[in-house]
Amino acid sequence: MGISTFDDWMVSYLSQLNQAQCDAVINTEGPSLIIAGAGSGKTRVLTYRIAHLIEKGIDPFQILALTFTNKAAREMRGRIEKVVGTEARNLWMGTFHSVFARILRIESEKIGYPRNFTIYDADDTKSLLKSIIKEMGLNDKVYKPNMVYGRISNAKNNLISAESYFQRDDLISADAESAKPKIVEIYKTYADRCFKSSAMDFDDLLLKTHFLFKNHLDVLNKYQHRFLYTLVDEYQDTNHCQYMIVKKLAAVNENISVVGDDAQSIYSFRGATIQNILNFKNDYPDAKTFKLEQNYRSTKIIVDAANSIIKKNKNQLDKTVFTNNADGEKIQLIRAVTDNEEGRFIAQSIFEEKMQNQLPNRHFAILYRTNAQSRSVEEALRRMNIAYKIYGGLSFYQRKEIKDLIAYLRLVINPNDEEAIKRIINYPSRGIGKTTLDKLIVLANQKDQSISDIITQAQNFHQLKSPFKKLKDFHTMMETFRIMAHEKDAYDTAYYVAKSTGLLKNLREDKTIEGVSRFENIEELLNGIKEFVEDDTSEKEKTLANYLQEIALLTTLDQADENEDHVTLMTIHMSKGLEFPYVYLSGLEENLFPSALSIDSREELEEERRLFYVAVTRAMKKLTFSFATSRFKYGNLLPTEPSRFINDIEPKYYNMDRKTLEQKPLPIGKNKSYGRSTGFAKKNPRQTPAYAIKTNRPPSIQNFVPENMENIQKNSKIQHERFGVGEVLEITGEGNNKKVQINFEEFGEKTLVLRFAKLRYFKHD
């Protein structure tokens, strides 16, 4: 570290903090609530607080730090390691799910699971539920797997096991009233099948940890005394189950520090409850409160606009976020006639910002309320050859070929994994068809055993006489893989499995574009396993089991390649915790944002407003809103109106007179033009317009003719297809980089790259 004493070290890093951050770092004893406003240096405070504990002499093994993404945990661990060295690797730090999975593997015998249990992702869960619904002879249009999954997940997050569900008359009555009385039986069957398959889903990692501590007080006591200090990031996003586990763990020492921002509580649909952070002082009356209110991320305009939004909410903790950053640009507003036009305006705006300021694509983000809104923006970006990437779509680990190989690897580690067996028992084809698989499932259910158990006893069942040799060969192959997994590292095992099963050969023979892509994806997966094996910064054994747990707990953002240069498209929910210099928030319309499903109660509307606040506070330099006066819904172009949230922001933060929002939309189908801006910016012709609308009024366009723009002169009168008529004020640069500064009559001053501007000269008669 290069610093001789602890006191010197403290002075060196505390000098990098403001007073509020410093107080939150050094006051480590007892319960504390750190209210961290957007962009206030929360990660730095958490990092230094943990580093401070270690430098005080606390053993890292006695510090528990819980986050919501692996990315956040890696970032913090890396920063701590720079301060205190490799001791940081001994921290119990990670997501709730990864830390609790670690505890469950250690204590697996207490709950009747093997240490090598499988973690089912959402696709595995839905696949199993779909099978159960079919086996029970239920209508999958009534018992939709997604819906059933949601009901079961909600029950688990509220500490309701399959057994206790049967005792809940209120839940059973609600299911009956909604014409879904079999939910309780599906839940019980699902829980039994997971147990038989030695598998847990994500919610089980929380629920079973809760019951482990509740039913085994010796285990609870062990971890209560192991973790002298507990830190929880994003506390406003915790659900009831997470809250109860953390409360139990901290009950002995009460050295619990929670960090969060109630203004960014936006995950109630996942079971998160804002009351956890609002009631922290009730749980710990002696808790100290630290407020991180200085924003280092955004301009003053953006910070003050965000404050004017959130003050409309009644249910919140008191704080006032401020910044010493520059004022910055006022908020721009794009008003379009249709959602397709909205996409074009956003793409055009990004293109102009990129050209004028020589910016990379990664500086831009387009946020929306629902994934469906990305279509019009995607089309517009493609037309302008602007690279983009959507987050929240199909992730790398959800692709079929990747899930196929991972299913093999899961089965190597856990022979009872039902979903893995069903996926690959006949891929590549080995003559074990659907009929045989159905027989295996029926026998497994009848005997209350796993499918793998039935395969090992295939000679005992007359139903399996015909496919017996094929089943035996499959079993022998898997046993060979398991032996190898004990002797080799994760990469050698995975490569051998991919080759020996014929999976690599099968994909290599497909020479279509899609086939080549699938083969490259498998190669990339194997490369990832190789990197895992060669990673010297991790203390984990390079076993296949550890690799599978690591990828099972990945989130979509954890897989993002930050080195790629692309515009980011994502829902606002996914954007929390991120920041971008330029942010476009699209679809600011009533019944879209706020959602039509969230306007019937104050609680729901306030969460939508917090979501709006989160979107605004992602922006660092410039913020642009957009809305359309009509949007395609269910195949029809329907009129819309601007979101009420636009009016939550005080008028002084907009680069416009908000009365323009009251313009009535054009009659749909009556006028194919783009609409005309009215009553705008005449008082200050140099003011940049607040919203980008094409005008009907290119005056005497026949008087403007194409000319050689290389010879453009200062004071020339020109016409632009979008901004209309203007006068050249300045010409700078040479060749392809030549730029012209133009004062447009309606749109004020613009600086354009000449070769892209498509200008026309005014021809004098």
* Residues acting as catalytic residues: 42-43, 233-234, 264, 618
* Beta carbons of 32 and 288 less than 8 angstroms apart: yes
Three-state SS letters, 46-110: HHHHHHHHHHCCCCHHHEEEEECCHHHHHHHHHHHHHHHCHHHHHCEEEEHHHHHHHHHHHCHHH
What is the C-alpha separation between 410 and 544, in angstroms, rounded? 9
SS (HEC) of 275-310: HHHHCHHHHCCCCEEEEECECCCCCHHHHHHHHHHH
Cα dist. 195→308, 410, 422, 728, 743 in Å? 51, 16, 16, 74, 71
Locate the DSSP E strands across 188-297.
Answer: 199-201, 229-232, 256-260, 288-292
Residue keyed to tokens 């957009």: 626
* One-letter amino acid for residue 546 of the chain: N
Give the Cα separation of 475 and 470 in Å (integer).
9
Exposed, middle or buried by CB within 10 Å (0-12, 13-18, 19+), for 596? exposed
As a whole number of angstroms, the distance between CA 88 and CA 81 comes to 5
User: How far apart (Å, rounded) are the C-alpha atoms in residues 579 and 622?
Assistant: 11
Six-digit token pair at 501?
Answer: 């099963």
What's the rounded Cα separation, in Å, for the pair 6 and 16? Answer: 16
580-585: strand order across its sheet: 332-336, 619-628, 580-585, 364-368, 567-571, 388-390
Whether the Cβ atoms of residue 464 and residue 210 lie closer than 8 Å to each other: no
Q: How many CB atoms lie within 10 A of CB 636?
A: 9
The CA-CA-CA angle for residues 152, 153, 157, to 5°, reads: 120
- Return the residue matching tokens 């140099």: 686
